[in-house]
Amino acid sequence: MKTHANARTLPATLAELLDIKGITSSKVNAICKAFQINTLPEFTTAVEMEQLDSFPELTGDDKKNIKRALKLYKNEESRIQLAEAILQGKEVLHCILQFPEVQKAAVAGSLRRGKDTIGDIDIVVQLDSTDRRKFLYKIARMPLTDNIFAAGKKRIGVVLHNQLSVYFYLTDAKHYGASLLYYTGSKNYNALMKNMATTMGYRLDANGLYDVKNHQYIATEKEEEIFQHMLLDYIPPELREEQGVITAAEQHAIPSLVTFDQLKGDMQIHSNWSDGDESIAHIARYMFSIFPHYQYIVITDHASLEGTDHVLQPADITRQAAEIAKINNEMGYDYVKRGVEVDILDDGQLSLPNELLKQFDWVIAAVHSHFTHDNTARLIKACENPYVHCIGHPSGRLIGSRDPYPVDWDKLFSKAAATGTAMEINARPNRLDLDDTLVKKAIAKGVKLIIDTDAHQLNQFDCMQLGIWVARRGGCGKADILNAHSWKEIEKFKKNKLSASGIN
């Protein structure tokens, strides 16, 4: 292997390493010589295998900056939940859009794809190349910025004060659409798109779509135009993960994904009758005002025959029913529906008897114990109850703190489809349960889903969009989501379940 004497003799794919703070050509040359490295993938592999950790010429900060620049500075602790990432991304985006130099900017990466946890934030920024220095100067002095670890012509890497990494990908108007497509990812999806472009005689990268034969630049300022030139339907960012979606786009079979404005109501809400913070009247007024497209909301306080705190007992159920009737009378129609969340006990029985369950408009059954056990049998037995309409947070996971419990999902979804039992997409930031992979399996089995917030406070109702993202990543259209339909349709769903159980 030849020794690299200076930056000009570095392999072209390694030149971008010189954009990393603290990394000089002499350091890169020394690493290349010591480890027989010629390409960026080889360099990345060496970092991943911790070969560089004992390299004497690299300081601790050098190693950290290299890992950040290569997007390898990841562990469970450094990943944040989608809800937090959305807020952080919006804050950064708001800051840079105030800079006169920035013509346009958008979030990309896994955040744009709506993944349930985010390792870092990617933002595509359109500006003139002559304004790059001004942009870098302002980014460095942004109140959110802790330090800059990489500053190249096309990419700037920033560590925020909360230690989250943000990558700004710089482009101009001509290449904006291609850059947004490329940096949205995923890596696997990009590779598939690149291979498809090659078979069509094109070259696709972050700079655009090119006709290889005549060296003509084809696309484009808009992401959608790339899909058009490649004879594909537009693929929503949430679906950009694997081969199947590209095949569907070729066949013009991309589903029309569910949207927030299609939802008719929130079907799991907790009031101060159990463990929520607000009265039902206050919740009803708030929801009617803030979400005018909702036609109904469902109060689903916990209930049990056992006398535990923050749980409705039979006498409370009657009194709560009277309160809801009074609120609906004042509103002039049945806006608030009577729901309940009941425990699935160890033997699959429920924490309320059927004679009480049949009084409710909507019944959610959920596991709240034995989170390490295989809970398939419990969940299947709950599905078989004719008065259970939905299984709540079916996998039991809490993101970052509790793994899903074991379940035979094929068996459960088959039973849910056969009994007419819905599955929940719980939109609480630490749940997002079902996740997108299980959503795909559920709808493939014909299972209907609901998206709800499981809200205990007013500020949690905004989390509904998180559930929408999970549903979209799972390929859900409006038809798959029960609460994207009128209450009349939900009553029909309930009646069908009773009929399937032999109850008229």
**pLDDT tens for each residue of 208-239:** 999 998 889 987 789 999 999 999 999 999 99
CA distance 131 to 454: 46
Q: Which is nearest to 69 in space by CA: 199, 161, 157?
A: 157
Residue-level pLDDT at 4: 37
Is the CB of residue 396 less than 8 Å from the CB of residue 433?
A: yes
Coil, helix or strand at residue 133: helix
Helix pair 187-199, 243-250: axis angle to 10 deg = 40
* Confidence (pLDDT) at 77: 59
pLDDT category of residue 377 using cuts at 50, 70 and 90: very high
Give tens-digit pLDDT for 177-202.
999 999 999 999 999 999 999 999 99
Average pLDDT in the 127-144 region? 95
Average pLDDT over residues 249-267: 96
Q: What is the mean pLDDT of residues 6-26?
A: 79
* pLDDT above 80 (res 12): no
HSE of 300, CA atoms in CB hemisphere, 13 A? 25
* CA–CA dist 449, 476 (Å, integer): 9
Statement: residue 5 has pLDDT above 60 = no
Return the pLDDT at 504: 73
What is the reported pLDDT for 69?
Answer: 86
At 74, the pLDDT band (50, 70, 90 cuts) reads low
pLDDT band at residue 429 under the 50/70/90 scheme: very high
Render pLDDT for 478-490 as a digit per residue (tens, 0 to 9): 999 999 999 999 9
Alpha-carbon gap, residue 264 to 291, rounded angstroms: 10
pLDDT interval class at 242 (50, 70, 90) = confident
Distance, CA of 503 to CA of 295 (rounded, Å): 28
pLDDT at residue number 3: 38
**Mean pLDDT, the chain, as a whole number?**
93
Residue 10: the pLDDT is: 75
Collapse the DSSP code of 403 into the 3-class scheme (helix H, G, I; strand E, B; otherwise coil) and give the result.
Answer: coil
